[in-house]
Amino acid sequence: MNGNSPQDGAPLLMVEGLRKTFRLPGGGTLTAADQISFTLPEGGSVGIVGESGSGKSTVARMLAGLERPDAGTVTVNGRDRHSARRGTRSRRDRLARAREIQMVFQDPYVSLDPRLTAGQCLRTALRLHGHPAVEDRIRSLLDRVGLGAREAEARPHELSGGQRQRLAIARALAVDPCILVLDEAVAALDVSIQAQILQLLAGIREDTGVALVFVSHDLAVVQHITDETVVMRRGTVVEQGPTDRVLRTPRHAYTRLLLTSVPHQDWDPSEVVRARAEAAEAEAA
């Protein structure tokens, strides 16, 4: 992908002991994430699962460099992403970091610049990174995500939700990243569109070898698209491991609770209520 050669045996992405605390308006503090560690091999796919307030989005934002961790490191290809002091980073450094990790946001209605057409949106990213053949690359990117010449001239408000999310993915790919962080990237979409985007992502992963960090509340989606899963709750990791193992034979009561909460045939929501009470008891013990 880009020039950095990974160190022998080291994973592409290594997250170690990440912590982020926010100051609350009332004077208190909220530990949004604490002791988060996981790795991601080249071309791999890891899911971060949790409910609202679990801190999964904070982790995603720290990976992308939008939040500065209070402690811990995010290492890509052996290089610490947060080593430089704030504001002292050179342009070259910023661009190199951008090529490590790109991000796709949840709501495609606000994650695109309303003033720019799809073509201009990609052109901005490509020019910033000094891409040689900008116009050709725009065409191939749009084509890759299933958008045509008509959409290239359209502004976000003229596109459907699915088309916007396709464009957001193309924008992330324009930078040619090693890792794509997707923060609830299919949650705001219609069911049939969600499936199209998942299929698109799987195809892109196969073609480009980009590694995925898939942040979601939806266990079924995570099972579908990831190899490894990290289950988060109230800022901490309660369980992690191969997706198949975590979702088939969950070890933590909370993971079991999440799994029983997913509606299925002959599902009884009152079982979930019981499981939740048990999980709370186990926690108290």
**3-state DSSP call for residue 150?**
helix
**Closest CB to another protein among residues 11, 156:** 156
Q: Residue type for 131, please?
A: H
Shortest Å distance, C-beta 68 to another protein: 12
**Closest CB to another protein among residues 75, 260:** 260
Q: Residue type for 155, please?
A: R
CA distance 93 to 20: 23
Shortest Å distance, C-beta 135 to another protein: 19
Shortest Å distance, C-beta 8 to another protein: 27
Range list of H helices, 70-189: 91-100, 118-128, 134-144, 149-152, 161-174
**Closest CB to another protein among residues 7, 282:** 282
**Closest CB to another protein among residues 75, 229:** 229
Shortest Å distance, C-beta 205 to another protein: 10
**3-state DSSP call for residue 146?**
coil
Shortest Å distance, C-beta 52 to another protein: 6
Q: Which residues lie below 8 Å from residue 248, measured CB to CB, with a gap of 6+?
A: none
Residue 181 near residue 103 (C-beta atoms within 8 A): yes
Q: Would you state the structure tokens that stand for residue 143, as one six-digit string?
A: 């084509």
Taking residue 136's Cβ as centre, other Cβ atoms within 10 Å add up to 10
Provide the CA 66 distance to its chain's centre, in angstroms.
Answer: 13
**Closest CB to another protein among residues 210, 247:** 247
**Closest CB to another protein among residues 10, 70:** 70
Shortest Å distance, C-beta 129 to another protein: 7
